[in-house]
Amino acid sequence: LQRVHHDLQEAYDQLRRDLEAAATIQTAMLPAPTTVDNIRHTGLYSPSALVAGDTYNVIRRPDGAVGFFQIDVAGHGAAAALVSVAGQHTLSQAILTRQQGALLEDIVADVNRQWPPDLPYFTTILGEIDPVRPLARIVQAGHPSPLLVRADGSVRFLGESGYPIGVLQQASYDSIEFDFDAGDRLLIYSDGVIEMENPAGEFYSEDRLRALVAEHADRPTPKILQALQEALRTWRGRDNLTDDVSVLVVERISPRDPIHAIH
C-alpha cells in the first residue's frame, strides 16, 4: 500500500507540473496590454482551474487594421485548453492571411466548415477596427453580446449570438458594422462573467454587467476591469470559480492622448 501510494503521489506531482507548465504557456500566449497607433487593448483572465478554455488575441495587420477575437471552448480542463490553443492559432492565422476584400463573416464560416467534427465546439467574436475610418466590425458566433461603451458614457449590447464554431457545418454568419470613434470602447467577455453563480445559484447576468460598466464608464479601462473583478468576487462569495472568466477591451484613443505609445 505504501508503494502504491508513493507511485500515485509521483504520478500526481508529475501531472501537476505538466499542467502548471501548460498554464504558463497558455498565459504567455495572451497579448499584453498595449497601445499601437490609436488602438489600445486591455484584458482580464481568470481561469477556473490551472488551464482554461478561454483565450483572446489582438493582431495588427500590415495594412494597419487591427483584428481581434475572443474564444470560449465548451467544457473545462486540459481538453478545453488544448482546443483553445488550436482555435487561437486558427483565428490568428485567419486575421494575418486575410485577403484584400475578404469578408469577416466568410472567414468565420470557412473556419466553421473546416473545424474537425471530433473536437469540442467553441464560441467566438471575431472583429476588426478600421485603421482610417471611425468604423469597426464584428462577427458573433455563439458568443455573448459585447458591450459598446461610447465616449459619452452610454452603454449598449451588440449582436444576437449566432452559431458556435463546430456545431453546424453549413452555418452562415453576419457581420455587424458600427461607428467606433475616439473614446469608444468595445468590451468582449466570456459567458463565465454573466453566468457566475452566487451561493444561492443566481447568475450575475447581463443586466448587472451592463449596470456596472455604465456606472464606471467615465473611468479608465483598467479601473473598469478591476471593479468588475471585485464585483464578481463579491457575487461569487467563495474562492473557486464555476467557469473561466475572461474579458477583452479594445478602444480607440485620441492621437493627442499623452499615453499614445507602444508600451
Interacting residues of 185 by C-beta distance below 8 A, sequence separation 6+? 148, 149, 221, 249, 250, 251
Is pLDDT at 258 greater than 60 in this prediction? no
Map grid coordinates 506531482 to a residue: 13
- Determine the average pLDDT of the residues in 85-93: 94
Is pLDDT at 20 greater than 80 in this prediction? no
The Cα 143–Cα 82 span in angstroms is 19
What pLDDT is attached to residue 240?
A: 77
What pLDDT is attached to residue 18?
A: 65
What pLDDT is attached to residue 174?
A: 95
Residue 12: band (very low, low, confident or very high) from pLDDT cuts 50, 70, 90 = low
AA identity, residue 124: T
Contact yes or no for 143/124 (Cβ under 8 A): yes
Q: Which residue has the higher pLDDT, 10 or 245?
A: 245
Residue 242: band (very low, low, confident or very high) from pLDDT cuts 50, 70, 90 = confident
Can you give the pTM of this predicted structure? 0.89
125 phi/psi in degrees, rounded to 5:
-125, 125
Taking only the tens place, the pLDDT of each residue in 95-136 is: 999 887 889 999 999 999 999 999 999 999 999 999 889 999
Give 233-238 contacts, CB < 8 A, sequence gap 24+: 235/196, 235/198, 235/204, 235/208, 236/196, 236/197, 236/198, 237/198, 237/199, 238/199
What pLDDT is attached to residue 45?
A: 93
What pLDDT is attached to residue 263?
A: 36
Give the highest mean pLDDT range of 43-52, 71-80, 204-213, 229-238: 204-213
Residue 8: band (very low, low, confident or very high) from pLDDT cuts 50, 70, 90 = confident
Residue 160: band (very low, low, confident or very high) from pLDDT cuts 50, 70, 90 = confident
Contact yes or no for 26/255 (Cβ under 8 A): no
Query: Based on C-alpha coordinates, what's the Rg of the chain?
Result: 19
Is pLDDT at 233 greater than 60 in this prediction? yes
* Cα separations in angstroms, 227 against 158, 245, 251: 22, 14, 18
> What grid cell was written down for 189?
467577455
Taking only the tens place, the pLDDT of each residue in 186-230 is: 999 999 999 999 999 999 999 999 999 999 999 999 999 999 999
- Determine the average pLDDT of the residues in 36-44: 92
What pLDDT is attached to residue 13?
A: 67
- Determine the average pLDDT of the residues in 76-80: 81
- Going by C-alpha positions, the residue among 129, 187, 135, 181 that lies closest to residue 157 is 187
- Determine the average pLDDT of the residues in 15-21: 69
Residue 19: band (very low, low, confident or very high) from pLDDT cuts 50, 70, 90 = low
- Determine the average pLDDT of the residues in 150-166: 94
Taking only the tens place, the pLDDT of each residue in 48-66 is: 777 788 999 999 988 889 9
